[in-house]
Amino acid sequence: MPTPETPLLRTLRLLAATALCLLAALMALKLVLMLVKGGETAWIIWHGKGLYAGHPLKYLGVGTAALLAGWVLLRLRRNTARDWAQCAGKLVLLGFSIALTLIAGEIGLRMYLVSKLEVNSLDRLKKLYREGKKPEVHTTHPMSVIIRPSDDPAIVYDLQPKLEMEFGHRKLRTNSIGLRSDKDYAVARAPHSVRLVGIGDSGMFGWDVEQNEPYLAVLEKLLGQRGDGVTYEVLNFAVPGYNTQLEVETLRRKALAYQPDVVLVGWCENDFGLPFFMLEHVNFRRRDISFLYRLLFDRQNYLADASGVRFTELRKFNQQDVLPEIMGGVDVGGVRRALQDLKTLSQTHGFKVLLVGPLGAPIRQLCQELGLDTYNTAEKIPGGKYPDEYAIHFMHPAPAGHRVIAEHLARELADRGWLAPRATVPGT
C-alpha cells in the first residue's frame, strides 16, 4: 500500500507535472513551427517579440522526455507495478512503430527520387531551359551573375548572352551567343579573311579589365591596322573557370561553326583541375543524410535535391557526385585527352593551334608529345622588360599586360605565316 501523500507533496507533484506538460507543449509548438516553415530556425513575431526555434531533434527529445515525465508524475499515485510494466511495453511498441514508419518513409521517398529524378536529371535540366527556366546558382562568388547552366552537359555552363552591365566595376557586354564582344560575328566567312578563335578561361576572357581591353580584343584591333586588305576577326569564346576539357568542348560544339583558321588556347596551370562551376549529380542512395529529414526540416536543400542536379561552385560541390565525363578531364591524363581531341579536330577541320600562356614543364611536355605549337609567354616575354604591375605572367594580367600579350601575339602569328587568307575554307 503506497504511503499517504501530504497535500504539500501532492501540490508540488501536480505543479511539476503541469510545468513539464507546458514545456512539452512549447517544444511541440516549436516543432510545428519548423514543419510549417520547412527550416531549422523560425520566428513568430508578436508585438516586436519572437519565438525562436532551433534544431528540431533537440526539441523533439526534450519535449518527449518532458511529456513522459509529466505523465509519470500525474499517474504516480494511481498506477500499480503491473500498470507500469504494461505502459512500458506500450511505449516500446509505440517507439518501434514510429521508427518503422520513419524508415519506411525514408525508403519510400528515396525510391521516388531515384525513379523520378536520378536517371533523367540532365534531361530535366534541358526541359527547364526549354520552359524558359533555369536552376538558381547558390554562391557568393561574383561570377554567378554572368554565367548560366548550359543545357549541354559537356559544356556545363557558359556566359549569358546580351549582357550589358558593370562587372567588378568594369564594363561587360556579351553578344547574342554569349561572347565577350560588342558585336555579333556572321557564321559565314567574309571573302579574303582570316578568322581566329580563342578558347580559354578568365585570363583570356579579361578578368578585371574593361570591355575592349582583353588581349584578344586588342589583337583584333592590331591586326585590323595592318592595312593589307585582309579582314581579321578574333572571336573570344573564353569563359571564366573553364578547364581544357570544357574549352575543347566549346570549340567542338560552338566555335567550329565559325570555321577558324587559327585556334588560340589560353593556358593557365589550374586547367589541370575541375571547372569552377559544376553540375553535381545528386546521389539519392547516399547514407550520410536523411532526405525525409530534409523534406521536413531543411526544405530549401530538399528542393535543390529534388531538381536532380545542383549547380554548385568549386568551393562547395562534392567531387564524388560530379559526372564521370567531367571528372575524366582533370589532371595530366584528362588534359592529354582534351589536347589530343583538339589536335584531331585541327587535322579534320584544317585550322592551326597555338597554346598561349606561362607554360610550366608538364604542359610543355604534353604539347611536345602531341606535336602542338606553343607560345610560352614566360619565355617569349621576359619578365624584366615590362613593369611588374603589368602582371603579364599572372593568370589575370592588368590592361597593360593584355596589350603587351596582344602585341607579341600579332608579331608571332605574322612570323609564323598564319595570317595569310586561305584560298578555300572548309565547308564553303
- The whole-number pLDDT of residue 82 equals 82
Tell me if 203 sits within 8 A of 267, measured CB to CB: no
Which residue has cell 581566329?
A: 196
Looking at the structure, tell me whether residues 250 and 362 fall in a common domain.
yes
End-to-end CA distance of the chain: 107
Residue 129 lies in a domain: no
Question: What are the backbone angles phi and psi of residue 375, rounded to the nearest 5°?
Answer: -135, 95
Residue 97 lies in a domain: no
pTM over 0.75: no
Looking at the structure, tell me whether residues 380 and 253 fall in a common domain.
yes
C-alpha grid cell, residue 34: 519548423
SS3 413: helix
* Confidence band, pLDDT 50/70/90 cuts, at residue 234: very high
Q: Domain end: 78, 103, 133, which one?
A: 78
d(CA 200, CA 238): 4
Residue 39 lies in a domain: yes
- The whole-number pLDDT of residue 119 equals 45
Residue 208 lies in a domain: yes
d(CA 112, CA 118): 9
User: For the residues of 13-49, what is the DSSP string, one character each?
Assistant: HHHHHHHHHHHHHHHHHHHHHHHHHTSS-B--EETTE
- The whole-number pLDDT of residue 49 equals 55
Q: What is the pLDDT of residues 90-131, one digit of tens each?
A: 888 988 898 899 899 888 888 877 766 554 455 555 666 667
d(CA 428, CA 426): 6
Q: What is the pLDDT of residues 337-390, one digit of tens each?
A: 999 999 999 999 999 999 999 999 999 999 999 999 999 999 999 878 899 999
Which of the given ranges, 84-88, 272-276, 407-411, has the highest pLDDT on average?
A: 407-411
- At a CB cut-off of 8 Å and minimum separation 6, what does 109 contact? 291, 292, 295
Looking at the structure, tell me whether residues 354 and 253 fall in a common domain.
yes
- The whole-number pLDDT of residue 383 equals 73
**Nearest CA to 291 among 36, 113, 168, 418?**
113
Looking at the structure, tell me whether residues 352 and 208 fall in a common domain.
yes
Q: In what helix (H) or strand (E) does residue 96 lie, and over which residues does it extend?
A: helix 81-113
Q: Domain end: 54, 78, 102, which one?
A: 78
Looking at the structure, tell me whether residues 58 and 181 fall in a common domain.
no
Looking at the structure, tell me whether residues 66 and 200 fall in a common domain.
no
Residue 38 lies in a domain: yes
* β-strand partners of 353: 263
d(CA 258, CA 184): 12
pLDDT at 56 over 90: no
Q: How many structural domains does the chain have?
A: 2
C-alpha grid cell, residue 330: 582533370
Looking at the structure, tell me whether residues 53 and 192 fall in a common domain.
no
The strand pair at 352-357 and 262-266 is best described as: parallel
Looking at the structure, tell me whether residues 244 and 351 fall in a common domain.
yes
SS3 309: strand
**Nearest CA to 137 among 128, 149, 126, 123?**
149
Q: Domain end: 27, 47, 78, which one?
A: 78
- CATH code, 403: 3.40.50.1110
pLDDT at 402 over 70: yes
| Residue 379 domain boundaries | 152-273+329-416
Looking at the structure, tell me whether residues 40 and 178 fall in a common domain.
no
Residue 134 lies in a domain: no
Tell me if 282 sits within 8 A of 321, measured CB to CB: yes
Looking at the structure, tell me whether residues 199 and 72 fall in a common domain.
no
Cβ neighbours, 10 Å, residue 33: 19
Residue 147 lies in a domain: no
SS3 147: strand
Question: What are the backbone angles phi and psi of residue 42, rounded to the nearest 5°?
Answer: -160, 165
Looking at the structure, tell me whether residues 249 and 385 fall in a common domain.
yes
- Give me the mean pLDDT over the 279-298 stretch: 76
Residue type, 111: M
Residue 278 lies in a domain: no
Q: What is the pLDDT of residues 131-149, one digit of tens each?
A: 766 555 555 566 777 888 7
Q: Within 13 A of 210's CA, how many CA atoms are on the CB side? A: 6
Looking at the structure, tell me whether residues 54 and 165 fall in a common domain.
no
